[in-house]
Amino acid sequence: MKINWFPGHMYKALRDISENLKKVDVVTYILDARIPLSSINPTLDTITQNKPVLYVFNKIDMADESKIKAILPKFKSAKSDYVLFNSTLSGKSDVILSKIKRLAQEKIDRYKAKGVKATIRSMVVGIPNCGKSTLVNNLCKKAKTITGDRAGVTKRGQWLSVGDCIEIYDTPGTLYPNIENQDVAKKLAYVGSVRDEILDFVELSMEFLALLEKTYPEALEKRYGGAKTLEEIAAFRKFVSNGGEVDLERTAKSVIDDFRKGRLGKLMLD
């Protein structure tokens, strides 16, 4: 199974991002903390390379924070910073706004010298289903965007005011035209950044279980009583069809759902 998903609205989104970037002071880059390296879009990296960037490790409540901390120094520099975040918790977005201001400090100081208060503009980017729209609503302190636990909910960008002289541009989640690294593609599929309808869940879940056996065998032990294969998990959960055969499709979807809902514990797959 070769995984690749790049619908037409993503092509339009990347073009829109490129066109609006000239209005932006800081890029707020949302990463899924369960796959922080795999959720970096190389096309976005190329487009935004000359802008200060705030990396938001979202869904930190579902991720292995000890492994996250090991890679954090890569995301801190004179023109970049990071924050560990859970966008589902309301009223916690002030840290993001303060870091956006810090990264735009040069503009703030320049305008202050003229006796004018600067308006800081930030563009929010990220892969599909990384919690971007939920985070934007958190920043706005009210529901301004449509959210959903699936890829491709946001279709077009919009400017929103989020408080004291800060505006953000919410963009659709984007992948890239050809995902050559299929290990990355699988991780994107595991977290729901690829539309489920194009996936072979049986094959995908087998790959996922093999990865988990290498990295978090204790998660399998705790959730499935030590069962490691789809057949064993189906027997353990009594997922059996009317004919008495194990239901691999149902089992496969349940395994991926267990991961997406955090039932396997706090994991980091990169």
CATH number at residue 207: 1.10.1580.10
Q: Is residue 176 one of the residues assigned to a domain?
A: no
* CA-to-CA dists, residue 205 to 40, 187, 200, 231, 260, angstroms: 23, 11, 9, 11, 12
Q: Is residue 140 one of the residues assigned to a domain?
A: yes
For residues 214 and 158, membership in a common domain is answered with no
Proportion of the chain above pLDDT 90, given as a percent: 63
Question: From CA 2, how far away is CA 113, in angstroms rounded?
Answer: 55
- Is the distance from CB of 264 to CB of 255 less than 8 angstroms? no
Structural domain count of the chain:
2
Describe the crossing of helices 248-260 and 201-215 by its angle, rounded to 10 degrees.
Answer: 50
- Mean pLDDT (the chain, rounded): 89
- The domain spanning residue 122 has which CATH number? 3.40.50.300
pLDDT-based confidence at residue 143 (cuts at 50, 70, 90) = low
For residues 131 and 250, membership in a common domain is answered with no
Q: Is residue 3 one of the residues assigned to a domain?
A: no
Residues in CB range of 254: below 8 A, 6 or more apart: 233, 237, 239
Read off the pLDDT of residues 164-221 as tens digits, 9 standing for 90 and up: 789 999 998 888 877 889 999 999 999 999 999 999 999 999 999 999 999 999 999 9
For residues 39 and 93, membership in a common domain is answered with yes
Q: Is residue 121 one of the residues assigned to a domain?
A: yes
For residues 43 and 134, membership in a common domain is answered with yes
Q: Which of 170, 187, 211 is the last residue of a domain?
A: 170
For residues 107 and 69, membership in a common domain is answered with yes
For residues 28 and 127, membership in a common domain is answered with yes
* CA-to-CA dists, residue 135 to 14, 51, 160, 206, 208, angstroms: 20, 21, 13, 32, 27
Q: Is residue 269 one of the residues assigned to a domain?
A: no
pTM of the model: 0.88
Q: Is residue 144 one of the residues assigned to a domain?
A: yes
pLDDT-based confidence at residue 59 (cuts at 50, 70, 90) = very high
Residue 66 has pLDDT above 90, yes or no: yes
Q: Which of 170, 188, 218 is the last residue of a domain?
A: 170
For residues 85 and 212, membership in a common domain is answered with no
For residues 141 and 22, membership in a common domain is answered with yes
For residues 51 and 134, membership in a common domain is answered with yes
Range of the domain at 205: 200-260
Question: From CA 136, how far away is CA 127, in angstroms rounded?
Answer: 14
pLDDT the model gives residue 106 = 94
For residues 21 and 122, membership in a common domain is answered with yes
Residue 145 has pLDDT above 80, yes or no: no
Residue 148 has pLDDT above 50, yes or no: no
Least confident window among 37-46, 72-81, 205-214, 252-261:
37-46
Q: Is residue 189 one of the residues assigned to a domain?
A: no
pLDDT (mean) for 1-17: 83
Sheet holding 26-32, edge to edge: 80-84, 53-58, 26-32, 120-126, 166-170, 158-161
For residues 37 and 159, membership in a common domain is answered with yes
Identify which has the larger pLDDT, 164 or 65. 65
Q: Is residue 177 one of the residues assigned to a domain?
A: no
Read off the pLDDT of residues 98-135 as tens digits, 9 standing for 90 and up: 999 999 999 999 999 999 999 999 999 999 999 888 88
For residues 147 and 67, membership in a common domain is answered with yes
Residue 150 has pLDDT above 70, yes or no: no
- Is the distance from CB of 104 to CB of 118 less than 8 angstroms? yes
pLDDT (mean) for 141-155: 51
pLDDT-based confidence at residue 147 (cuts at 50, 70, 90) = very low
Q: Which of 170, 186, 209 is the last residue of a domain?
A: 170
Proportion of the chain above pLDDT 70, given as a percent: 94
